[in-house]
Amino acid sequence: MHPHPQGDVRLGPDPSVHPTADVRDSSLGHYTEVLEDCLMLESTLGDYAYLSSGCDVAYADIGRFASVASNVRIGPTNHPMWRPSQHHFTYRSARYGFGPDDDAVFEWRRSQRTRVGCDVWIGHGAVVSKDVPPYAIVGGVPARMIRERFPAPVRQRLLRLAWWDWPHDYLNKALPDFRELDIEAFLDKYGGAAL
C-alpha cells in the first residue's frame, strides 16, 4: 500500500490510500483507491474498487469494481436491543458483503446482515434491510426496489459473463469496448450467450 499522491492519480497494482484515510487490519486489492477521510476497519476492498471521501467501512467484504460514493457507511453498528447484551460481540461474528461492480450513491447504511448483488445502485440515505438482487436500483427507508437496471435476459447474460473476474490484461484490452459499445453489443462480442 502506498500513500495517495497529491494531484492526478494513476492507479497501479499497489493500492492508493490518501494520507488522511485510516485503514486498519484490512486488505486492499490491486488498482484500488481509498480517498480522503475514510475509515476502513477489518474489511476487504476487491481489485479495482474504490472508496470516495468520507466513507466509513467496518467488517465488510467489498467486491471487485465496487464504486462507493462519498460519505457511505457500510457495516455501521446496529445495537441488538432484543438480545441479552448490546455489546459488539453479539453482532461482529458475521461480515457484510458487497458485490462486484456495485455503486453506492451518497450516504446509505445496512440495518442488518444483508447481501447486495453485483452492480446494484443504492440511493442516498437508503437503509438496506434485506438482500438486494443483482442489477437493481434501490432507495428509501427501508430500501425498496425502484427498478431493474436491465431486462432479465440481459442480467442473466451479464452474470454468466462475469467480466469482473477477467484478468487485468484482458480488461485492459476490452476497455475501449466498455466505453463505446452498448450493453447488447458488448455481450454479443464477449460471449454473454443469449438465452
Q: Are residues 55 and 129 in the same domain?
A: yes
Active site residues: 79
Q: Are residues 139 and 126 in the same domain?
A: yes
Q: Are residues 54 and 78 in the same domain?
A: yes
Q: Are residues 169 and 113 in the same domain?
A: no
What DSSP string describes 58-73?
ESEEE-TT-EE-TT-E
Which tens digits make up the pLDDT trace of 69-119?
Answer: 888 888 766 555 454 544 554 455 555 555 555 444 434 444 456 778 888
Which tens digits make up the pLDDT trace of 19-40?
Answer: 999 999 999 999 999 999 999 9
**Long-range CB pairs of 105-114, under 8 A, 24+ apart, other chains included:** 105/69, 106/69, 106/70, 106/71, 106/72, 107/71, 107/72, 107/73, 108/72, 108/73, 108/143, 109/73, 109/74, 109/76, 110/74, 110/75, 110/76, 110/78, 111/78, 111/142, 112/78
Q: Are residues 129 and 157 in the same domain?
A: no
Tally of domains in the chain: 2
Q: Are residues 34 and 114 in the same domain?
A: yes
Here the CATH number for the domain that contains residue 115 is: 2.160.10.10
What is this structure's pTM?
A: 0.70
